[in-house]
Amino acid sequence: MEFASEKKQELLSKIARSDRHGEHSLYFDGWKAYDKNPFHPTQNPDGVIQMGLAENQLCFDLIEEWIKNNPTASICTSEGVGKFKDVANFQDYHGLLEFRQAVAKFMGMVRRGKAAFDPDRIVMSGGATGASETLMFCLADPGDAFLVPSPYYPAFNRDIRWRTGVQIIPVECHSSNNFHVTLAQMESAYTKAIEANINVKGVILTNPSNPLGITLSRETLTSLLSFTSRNNLHMVCDEIYSASVFNSPAFTSISEVMQETECNPDLVHIIYSLSKDMGLPGLRVGIIYSYNDQVVNCARKMSSFGLVSSQSQHLLASMLSDEVFIEKFLEQSSRRLAKRHSRFVKGLEQDRIHCLEGNAGLFLWMDLRHLMKESTFDAEMKLWRVILEDVKLNVSPGSSFHCPEPGFFRVCFANMDDHTVEVALKRIREFVSKGNENGDDKKLLQKKHRQNLNLRLSFTSRKCDEGLMSPHQRMSPHSPVPHSPLVRART
């Protein structure tokens, strides 16, 4: 018995039908282009280079070496298999004590001993994705709002809002002061929201910032923390890149600032994960660290929806408590990130492309305003399509980060090897010099625009048959490439 398509739609919930999952964003469109034609140095040298995924692959060798040298940490080795039974059966949502202790110690080390973390406040979640969402479920009711400095990580739209019904109020930051968020901007956004009768529950800061790649200053954190405490607002700090800081100024965590500022600790919460700093996104380790007991209790119970695999907990309990290894890892990681960052910045400078002076994260915030004839988001999108389809680099346009000014792009640099870096820089050089030779970027963009009218990358217009993909292609996991023909989700 077939259903008419309306009846079919009725069978789904509003959440399932909504597009608050955000996958129609250009941010994800670029990944789709990469998935269809991924670069490979020998098998597909003309493919798209993925520069839209903030992954840290620079220190895999260190992790590999550690695992090889510590066979007892894995239950899949003859030395470690004795622990298998206990580990496999362990599903207590408190998590293994050794795991929590190791995470607490690690977080303290990342903050150079300036803050100590209580293992009993460590709550697990399904990656930082799960941590952000769970924290929202704990702090806010549907319709409540959080102030978020923009530009911000695009997937917040999904993680903060989709199932929770929470709103995001962007606090626009500007190039005039290098996109640093100020107390004045925050207060102004807050006042406007209050006047519009929006129930503001708190502020979400990402520190170090994604996509800007900068650490927030102690002064900024102090003033914002005071602001939130004064107004009984929650301060949520996503510190997922806290150990990916490679230049000065050093990272200052909200956990340090709390000690020196008059504040209400019940309002302070940290989101963390091992996906970026340790380069272990596959382990799905998300952490909520809250100074509020109610939130810890509630989040812990909700962690049943996204517990970390006990196999991973067991492995990480050993790895993260190996202080000698962690010390070495953090130092090496910083060094390699600095080197990679510097190579890119220098390479781009040679083509007269400037980036925001960044000291952290796995990406650059690139300024391409000079390549656009008009300062509009339309022009930014056209430029983005040229970069994606002709230059074949998947960089992420600033508009997908809700950047208030057009012309900026986030470029990830830590998810590739040195050879790929050179290929990417070469392509950029060729693109820029071609533009200079023609002397008229507008013509190039106009030509592309005409071609692009038929090439609109849309979530539903593409069907991807997995069977046709060749073995060397690795699908980007965030890419919502459909595995079966889909009906377009309606709002």
Nearest to 303 by CA among 143, 478, 100: 100
State the DSSP string of 134-170: HHHHHH--TT-EEEEEES--TTHHHHTTTTT--EEEE
- Determine if the peptide bond prior to 151 is cis (ω within 30°): yes
Q: Which is nearer to another protein, 300 or 340 (CB)?
A: 300
Distance of CA 383 to the CA centre of its chain: 23
Q: How far is the CB of 232 from another protein (least distance, A)?
A: 5
Give buried/exposed letters for 253-279 (b at 16+ CB in 10 A, else e): bbbbbbeebebbeebbbbbbbbbbbbb
State the catalytic residue, choosing from 105, 201, 276, 382: 276
Tell me if residue 240 is catalytic.
yes
Q: Which is nearer to another protein, 358 or 480 (CB)?
A: 480
Packing angle between helix 26-36 and helix 377-386, nearest 10 degrees? 10
301's tokens = 């119970």
100's tokens = 């929590």
CB 236 within 8 A of CB 139: yes
Q: How far is the CB of 17 from another protein (least distance, A)?
A: 8
> Cα(407)–Cα(379) distance, rounded to whole angstroms?
8
State the catalytic residue, choosing from 238, 277, 322, 367: 238
Q: Are strands 200-206 and 49-50 parallel, antiparallel or unpaired?
A: unpaired
State the catalytic residue, choosing from 75, 204, 240, 288: 240
Q: How far is the CB of 292 from another protein (least distance, A)?
A: 6
Q: How far is the CB of 151 from another protein (least distance, A)?
A: 22
Q: How far is the CB of 27 from another protein (least distance, A)?
A: 14
Q: Which is nearer to another protein, 55 or 256 (CB)?
A: 55
Q: Which is nearer to another protein, 374 or 466 (CB)?
A: 466
> Cα(423)–Cα(37) distance, rounded to whole angstroms?
16
Tell me if residue 86 is catalytic.
no
Q: Which is nearer to another protein, 10 or 260 (CB)?
A: 10
190's tokens = 């807050």
Using CA atoms, how far residue 168 sits from 37, 228, 281, 347, in Å, is 34, 16, 26, 36
Nearest to 416 by CA among 438, 394, 401: 394
Tell me if residue 465 is catalytic.
no
Q: How far is the CB of 74 from another protein (least distance, A)?
A: 6
Q: Which is nearer to another protein, 223 or 310 (CB)?
A: 310
Q: Which is nearer to another protein, 41 or 282 (CB)?
A: 282
Tell me if residue 153 is catalytic.
yes
Task: Note the helical H segments in 231-376.
Answer: 254-260, 293-302, 310-321, 323-350
Instruction: Point out which residues pair with 87 in neighbouring strands.
Output: none
Q: Which is nearer to another protein, 46 or 86 (CB)?
A: 86
SS3 of 475-491: the string is CCCCCCCCCCCCCCCCC
Q: How far is the CB of 189 from another protein (least distance, A)?
A: 18
Q: How far is the CB of 258 from another protein (least distance, A)?
A: 14
Please, what sign has the CA dihedral across residues 482, 133, 158, 150? negative
> Cα(344)–Cα(411) distance, rounded to whole angstroms?
10
> Cα(125)–Cα(285) distance, rounded to whole angstroms?
7
Residues labelled as active-site residues: 153, 238, 240, 276
